[in-house]
């Protein structure tokens, strides 16, 4: 798939497939792991990248749909994590057209380091698409990156308040809003807002 939001990722895929796998899932998701339902649950990982998170949740006994628009990342993730509990899907934001056509909902929906790649108009389109995937009682978990933008990447500094307001209009109530330092030591000046919502 060709999306403006994923500029730079195809060319860097070989390096990213190594780098992302070195970061422990527990470190990345510490502020929100308590919100993940007990297995077996249906988990949607939008922008799944290398499949690191999908594999972690699959190993716990969850069924995971890993959505990744960048062919090089998706195929690399399949090779790294050939789990029968992970279904890989070529789809992407803002519309999630392939996924939405299936009519499924999920107990937990994750967008890790994804939302800030969408411009304001794309974010406005994406929130209804994303929220439609959250089951009753389910959670939406996402992260917003703040700080210097790496060369060759398309990113926007997204205010948490904007995202909370968009989610609220879709019937999602904010239950976590916390600012953390980057878990990558080399990312000087980078912080992350971790947001979680419940339907």
Count, residues in the chain: 199
pLDDT of residue 12: 66
Q: CA separation (Å) from 152 to 5, 134, 143?
A: 11, 32, 20
pLDDT digits (tens, 9 = 90+) for 146-181: 999 888 888 999 999 999 999 999 999 999 999 998
Hey, where are the domains in the chain?
4-198
**3-state secondary structure at position 19:** helix
Stretch 67-71: mean pLDDT, rounded? 93
Strands (E), the chain: 42-46, 63-67, 86-89, 106-111, 134-146, 173-181, 191-198
Indicate the DSSP class of residue 113.
S
Q: Which CATH architecture has domain 4-198?
A: 3-Layer(aba) Sandwich (3.40)
Cα 190 from chain centroid (whole Å): 18
pLDDT for the residue numbered 18: 63
Sheet strands (E) in 34-157: 42-46, 63-67, 86-89, 106-111, 134-146
């Amino acid at each position: 798939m060709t999306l403006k939001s994923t500029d730079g990722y195809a060319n860097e895929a070989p390096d990213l497939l190594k780098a992302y796998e070195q970061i422990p899932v527990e470190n990345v998701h510490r502020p929100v792991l308590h919100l993940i339902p007990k297995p077996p649950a249906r988990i949607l990982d939008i922008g799944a990248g290398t499949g690191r998170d999908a594999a972690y949740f699959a190993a716990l006994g969850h069924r995971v749909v890993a959505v990744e628009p960048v062919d090089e990342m998706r195929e690399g993730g399949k090779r790294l994590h050939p789990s029968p509990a992970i279904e890989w899907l070529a789809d992407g934001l803002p519309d999630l057209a392939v996924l939405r056509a299936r009519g499924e909902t999920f107990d937990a929906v994750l967008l890790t380091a994804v939302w800030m790649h969408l411009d304001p108009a794309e974010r406005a389109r994406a929130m209804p698409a994303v929220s439609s995937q959250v089951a009753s009682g389910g959670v939406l978990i996402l992260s917003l990156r703040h700080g210097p933008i790496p060369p060759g990447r398309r990113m926007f500094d997204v205010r948490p308040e904007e995202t909370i307001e968009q989610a609220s209009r879709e019937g999602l109530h904010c239950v976590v809003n916390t600012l953390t330092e980057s878990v990558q030591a080399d990312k000087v000046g980078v912080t992350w807002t971790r947001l979680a919502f419940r339907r």
